[in-house]
A = this chain, B = another copy of it.
Amino acid sequence: MASFVLRYHPLNLHLRHTFTISRWSRDIAANVLVELEADGIIGYGEASPNQRYNESQESCMQWLSSFNTADIKNPFDVEALLRVMDATGPGNYSAKVALEMALYDWIGKKLEIPLYELWNAPSNTGPQTCFTVGIDKTENLPDRVREAEPYPILKIKLGTDRDREIITTIRSVTDKPLWIDANEGWKDLETAKSHIRFLADQNVQMIEQPMPAGMKSELAALKSYSPIVTMADESFTGRESIDELAACFHGINLKLMKTGSLRRAMQLIHRGRKAGLHIMIGCMIESSLANSAAALISLWCDYADLDGHLLIRDDPYKGLAFNEQNHVYMPDMPGLGVTLR
């Protein structure tokens, strides 16, 4: 069987605008590029380390340095790779998914078919995707909305002390459907209910993580109350009980950097579907490489938030693309379909 060489490098991506959500601001994404080579074929993967989970570019590369490629006995047996990675303990999910992504990319290239073909995807085209408007000064919001003119759905970050002002300002310049990401910003049930009552008349299609992940009984109460679909984001890494999530939310937002595996993400989608959950795929700030892996997963999802690569000004790759209605689609190329720009 194939003998693999593993390489990894820092991949520092520069943001177009300083990006602010309720927890932090930043203007660089310190990611990691992974290359897995065998038989003259290179598979590519990308990690976007998440400080919320105690990950950094350094910790990511350190974890990769400890991986022994001789542990890949049969490269097509990705479950075996997951067992090897699981045995290194919990955490390091962005490094783990980058390595698995590189192996899947290699598999597709080796077999000379796109991964969406190998996985029997319903089509090469996923859901309509949103464009995120970050938290900004109220007077700047109309310009931010105008910059998003090509995008049919806007995702608005809330969880501030001026949420209604933000929505009212946005509604003064556009009537596009909105997705809301509260990022755990509403701290009690009455506040969340009051915001949702306000949002229910504002063409809002979904609300991510209205309250903190720890407030399970309040989230369950909010699910029954809310006429708008609520989605688990901070409440969902991929390692929680699907039944418990279904009690608290209408859906789940998968992110590969949290789940730590494309294969586990696919399995979670199927388990979530059986539990009647809506399925969303999200991303971190990452290049078209990792975001093409997310776009691949989106082919099985109801909602897709895949603008991470649009927020950076030096994306080295091209892969996922968007049609006129902003539905994401995968290139007809082997593996993930990603090439250097």
Binding site for B on A (CB under 8 A): 74, 76-79, 111-113, 117-123, 262-263, 266-267, 270-271, 273-274, 300, 302
Kindly list 20 other residue pairs between chains A and B, CB separation below 8 angstroms, not including A119-B119, A120-B263, A121-B267. A74-B111, A74-B112, A74-B113, A76-B111, A76-B112, A76-B113, A76-B118, A77-B117, A79-B117, A119-B120, A120-B262, A120-B266, A120-B267, A121-B270, A122-B267, A122-B270, A122-B271, A123-B267, A273-B273, A274-B302
| CA of A11 to CA of B19, assembled, Å | 65
Contact A270 B111 (CB under 8 A): no
The one of B77, B78, B271 in contact with A112, judged by C-beta atoms closer than 8 angstroms, is: B77
Q: How many angstroms between the C-alpha atoms of A325 and B118 in the bound complex?
A: 32
CB distance from A89 to the nearest CB of B (A): 23
Q: How far is the CB of A100 from chain B (nearest CB, A)?
A: 11
Docked-complex contact B78 and A117, CB < 8 angstroms: yes
Chain B nearest Cβ from A37, distance in angstroms? 19
Nearest chain B CB to A202 CB, angstrom units? 25
A270 and B117 within 8 A (CB): no
Q: By the criterion CB–CB under 8 Å, are A113 and B77 in contact?
A: yes
Bound together, the chains give a CA A76 to CA B108 distance in angstroms of: 10
A271's nearest neighbour on chain B, judged by CB, is B122
Separation in Å of the A229 CB from the closest CB of chain B? 13
Which residues in B have their C-beta under 8 angstroms from that of A262?
120
- Chain B CB within 10 Å, residue with most, of A112, A117, A120: A120
